[in-house]
Amino acid sequence: MRVSGIPQGAVWIVAYFNDKSYGPLSRNGGHGTIAYPVRGATTDLPAVPGMSEKLPGGARVIKAARSSGDYASPGYLPPCSGGRGNRYTVDLKAIDKAGKVLDEITNFDIGKY
């Protein structure tokens, strides 16, 4: 995913992944919260593997998915609705080195599964 218009001073893009069709995982990073290092006003966020704490490109797990049982994940939980057409979104926040939110976008559609 390419993110542009990142404000000056941002050092992280924090992504909160959600399944809007499934209440327990529909907000606040229900499918996991990942921080990606900023590399300028436009930054490419690399794809991350599901069910793993080991992430590429300097990305970090901030908060694991809230899933449990067979779907418990130490990091990002990929779409898992079994093809029922669930709506997946991401909230993105540009964060400075002090942890202040400089800008954000919410409910950005990333697909249906």
Query: Can you give the pTM of this predicted structure?
Result: 0.96
pLDDT of residue 74: 97
Tell me, what's the pLDDT at 71? 94
**25: closest CA among 65, 72, 70?**
65
Q: Based on the structure, what is the number of domains in the chain?
A: 1
The pLDDT of residue 55 is 97
CA 17 to chain centre: 4
CA atoms within 13 A on the CB side of 44: 4
> What span, in angstroms and rounded, lies between the C-alpha atoms of 104 and 5?
11
- Rounded CA separation 93/87 (Å): 20
Domain of residue 64: give its range: 2-112
Give residue 58's pLDDT.
97
* Average pLDDT of the residues in 61-67: 98
**Among 15, 12, 20, residue whose Cα is nearest residue 112:** 20
